[in-house]
Amino acid sequence: MKNNLLSLFIMSAFCLVSCSNNGSAATQIQGIVQSGVSTESKQVLSRLTVNLYAIGESSAQLISQTSSNNSGQFIFNLPSSAIESMLYITASNGESIELASIIGNYSSSKVVVNELTTVAAAYSMAQFWHGDSIYGSHKAITVANGMNLNLVSPYDGSISTVISSPPNANQTNALRLINSLANAVANCVRNKSTCDTLFQASRTISGALPNNTLMALQNLVLNPSQGINEIFNYSHRQSIYSPYLYSAPDAWTLALKFNQTGSSSCPFGGPGNITFDDNGNAWITNNVVQGSTVSSNCIIVLKPNGMPADGTNGSPASPLFGGGIFGQGFGITTDLQGRVWSGNFGWGTLLPTGSVSLFSSNGEAISGESGYSQYIYRAQALRADNKDNMWIASNGNQRLVIFPSGNPDQAIYATTAESYPFDIEITQEDDAWVSFSSLTDPSVLTESSGVVSKYKLVNKQIQQIATAKVGGYPLGMTLDSSNYLWVSSLLESAVYRVSPDGQNVESFSGGGTIGTWNVTLDGDENVYAVNFMSNQTGLFGIAKLCGPKVRNCPPGATLGTPISPNTGYTLPTGGDQVLLADGTPLNGPDAPADYKPLMRMVAAKIDIAGNLWVTNNWKPSFIVDLDKENPNPGGDGVVIFVGLATPNHQ
């Protein structure tokens, strides 16, 4: 009788763990912890503590804990309450080794935890790790999970098709870099006595040492300029993940290129600027028809994972046509209603042109076939203020145009004191800073031409209230939380900071700042400057400078101190020439091959998961600039630096 009661008690206790509320068996996750991925090179990892977590808004919930057996295998029973959760696994020896794998939403009972999944987990979730815990807003975590799937398959622990296929594969160094980092972790896993070499070279931004391999990788994402030669050399002690880096990178940044648009009728041709809609989709202006200077007539919309938006769940179906799209430039923004406005500049034509186009959030054209054109000639930036007034830089006729409450039928304008209004930033008081630069008149390309001015809307009148000189040829701008304006400078190796009243102007340089077209700030208010000109190595890079919240910078840094290396953050080649989405060479079939996947950039935007998106606006080679008979300037695709920047909103 006692034995029967004991058996009944054990069965009841087991069911509390492994049975769902309706009495059926819980869903199982069966996995293996291993070093390596291929049959020839892998080693199973036994007696590791394996934890299954659910990701929450403000904490991670430990669902279950077990150990890997002598074959490296483990089994979890997933309760029905966790089926809809975003899931991840860690595996640790309690000392120097900790591996991880992001499962995301449950879709397969099989999972692998290895060095490759650990690198992917560290980079994709970089902004949401808190020790062993991952947490953050569901929308942001979903975006980060999509980027994880761009890097690795959690189901078999192998490289994903995104990173192993064009336009990545060997056209960029992303595949080789992620494999090299996996090899570095593998060397620590297989030779634990050497782990200190990895840890010494992968510290936090404040200089603290990591305790394990997962923390080391987390530190590298957030502080990628360190340990370049040390980790590169250390990674070469293992070659179980291949191909790997054949030369040390400029930094441990992991960047992916995307150039599919959804239709061959609208290839990337000089992508200009980006705005994110409420669902995280990236709307991207497109200057020209690829291979020409003829104005493009489409907008490209990419999902948060960089793939073309496909029209599902109320999203747009990329690319979008209509609404008056014609040679779009730098201008694109969302209004308070979630609608998307974009500016039509009109490339490759001397005929009067210029309008703005308006689309609903699902991609329906609201503006007519000619767009909204009253008072506008060659539109550039657009910005909505807090009253939904749409401010428009009419670059070709020296006007600042406003659609009150977004109504083009009530348009008003002011003629500006300076020519060629270009970018617009709206202050907390709904005033508008405007930069002035021309893209069609080379005679204004002088270092003394730099001016930004501030305007106020008073009783339907646009009044200038401040102005400042900012050096050579300002283009893109951004505002910090103290209403200071940060301004790019195309003709200098510097960016500028302007006080709210325009009276104080400072310049900052270094970190790979050269020929800067645009600037943006992350959630820590550090500054990212994207360059239109190449660095000393011939590559194009992104400079990072310490911003006004210096507590978020390395020890001893002050405002403007460079954080990125002298090259900036770059994306070198993996060895193969750059190809367009249709497989043809970047510069054309009869032109010299190009090996620079990161090109002349004009815009940078940070998504809610901390991924930094930049636009490849103009082809790298100066041969393209000099060929007047067959002009072919339009760059190809966007590049996303995974997990690099602190999100502005989570």
Check residue 210 and report its DSSP letter: P
Percent of the chain with pLDDT over 70: 93
Written as one letter, the residue type at 362 is: N
Q: What does each C-alpha distance from 88 to 163, 213, 592 come to in angstroms? A: 21, 16, 46
Q: Token pair 């077990």 is at which residue?
A: 66
pLDDT band at 446 (very low <50, low <70, confident <90, very high): low
pTM of this prediction? 0.94
Query: What are the pLDDT digits (tens) for 115-165?
Result: 999 999 999 999 999 999 999 999 999 999 999 999 999 999 999 999 999
Query: What are the pLDDT digits (tens) for 22-38?
Result: 334 468 999 999 999 97
> Exposed, middle or buried: residue 552 (CB in 10 Å: 0-12, 13-18, 19+)?
middle
Written as one letter, the residue type at 254 is: L
Q: Token pair 């210096």 is at which residue?
A: 550
**In the predicted structure, residue 93 carries a pLDDT above the cut 90:** yes
Section 58-69 average pLDDT? 97
604: nearest Cα among 450, 467, 495: 495
Architecture of the domain defined by 379-566: 7 Propeller (2.130)
Residue 141: helix, strand or coil by DSSP? helix
Query: What are the pLDDT digits (tens) for 270-310?
Result: 999 999 999 999 999 999 999 999 999 999 999 999 999 99
First to last CA, the chain: 58
pLDDT band at 623 (very low <50, low <70, confident <90, very high): confident
What string of DSSP letters covers 60-124?
A: EEEEEEEE--TTSEEEEEE-GGGTTSEEEEEEE-SSS-EEEEEEEE---SEEEESHHHHHHHHHH
Percent of the chain with pLDDT over 90: 86
**Integer Cα distance of 229 and 540 in angstroms:** 21
Residue 407 main-chain phi, psi, to 5 deg: -100, 110
The torsion angle over the Cα atoms of residues 198, 179, 601 and 576, rounded to 10 degrees, is 140
Query: What are the pLDDT digits (tens) for 174-201?
Result: 999 999 999 999 999 999 999 999 999 9
Q: Which residues pair with 505 in a beta bridge?
A: 498
Section 360-378 average pLDDT? 96
> Exposed, middle or buried: residue 356 (CB in 10 Å: 0-12, 13-18, 19+)?
buried
pLDDT at 629: 77
Query: What are the pLDDT digits (tens) for 593-614?
Result: 999 999 999 999 999 999 999 9
The count of other CB atoms within 10 Å of the CB of residue 461 is 9
**In the predicted structure, residue 15 carries a pLDDT above the cut 90:** no
Q: Where are the domains of the chain?
A: 26-249, 253-318+348-373+570-650, 379-566
Cβ(608)–Cβ(277) below 8 Å = no
Q: What is the mean pLDDT of the chain?
A: 92
* Residues with Cβ within 8 Å of residue 606, at least 6 apart in sequence: 520, 522, 523, 528, 612, 613, 645, 646, 647, 648
